[in-house]
Amino acid sequence: MEIMKSLKGRNFLTLKDFTPEEIQNFLDLAADLKAKKKQGITGSSLKGKNIALIFEKPSTRTRCAFTVAANDEGGFPTYLGKGEIQLGKKESVEDTARVLGRMFDGIEFRGFLHSHVETLAKDSGVVVWNGLTDDYHPTQILADFLTMEENFGHLKGLNFVFIGDGRNNMSNSLMVGCGKMGVNCTIIAPKALWPEEALVETCRGYAEEAGSTLTITDDTAAVTGADVIYTDVWCSMGEEDKAAERLTLLKPYQVNRALMESTGKASTIFMHCLPAVKGNEVTEEVFESEQSVVFDEAENRMHTIKAVMVATLGD
């Protein structure tokens, strides 16, 4: 399929930076690459490209997805784990960026501060992709949207509910993505964990332009009519000291059989970015149910990440 020329050479830091048409192009390319992969067809668009994979935070899906996707397209990924480079410690992020930019053709960053991935993008001179920061997780949203398209045939007009910690990177990114793509988005969370109002207003602007809605509430009854129920862990990486407090605060927001049934739709699917703490944010029963598409979603991390690399860096 044809890749939009506007994507070539672009950094992928947050979906805020892309138009709905560009996001759809990523999704269409991912679907095409996935179909080819199922037929045993891989490409060579990244042949001769060296790719740095920087990981401050541990990872299963993101690391494996970038590695396999790069290999499938002929690229050569190099893993740089925590403690293996001097990023922001003995060497400034700016200097690390300038060094890596002279050796690599693309850089993936998965870590804590969003400012770090922004600095890498500003100073490296090569394409940079956000594999997760404390603020945003855009590659996950593409995988989520591809999974939703596979289940419903479209995105626009779907009713999407995120329930749990409403101010984490997943909630932030889902609000942005849903707003851009015309998906009706509801964030259900206790008021203490609502997203930042400035981001909510930005995303409401996206939604208004796309003809959809964004609702923030603490009422679990808002799951009525949902096509998608989505949740995430109650304690993000680096917040483990808040586990007991979050358990008490979020227990009423668990995704269980009763909550799934209260959507009023047999077609509702359950999604989770993984890893899941079963028994906390979701019960084992729902996680293992036929409504759960979490492993399709996990696989789609690879296909969508491949699409991002091919579109922004590939020949």
Question: Among all residues, which ones are annotated catalytic?
Answer: 110, 137, 140, 232, 273, 301
Residue for token digits 């207003």?
201
Region of 109 on the Ramachandran plot (φ > 0 left; ψ -120 to 50 alpha; else beta): beta
CA distance 127 to 61: 21
Long-range CB contacts for residues 105-109, cutoff 8 Å, separation at least 24: 105/49, 105/50, 105/51, 105/313, 106/49, 106/50, 106/51, 106/52, 106/75, 106/309, 106/312, 106/313, 107/51, 107/52, 107/54, 108/51, 108/52, 108/53, 108/54, 108/62, 108/66, 109/54, 109/56, 109/133
* Helices (H), ranges, 153-191: 169-181
Binding positions for carbamoyl phosphate are: 59-62, 86, 110, 137-140, 273-274, 301
Structure tokens given for 186: 């509801």
CA distance 150 to 299: 13
Residue 215: closest CA among 192, 190, 185, 195: 185
Torsion, CA 292, CA 294, CA 297, CA 301, rounded to 10:
180
CA distance 231 to 188: 10
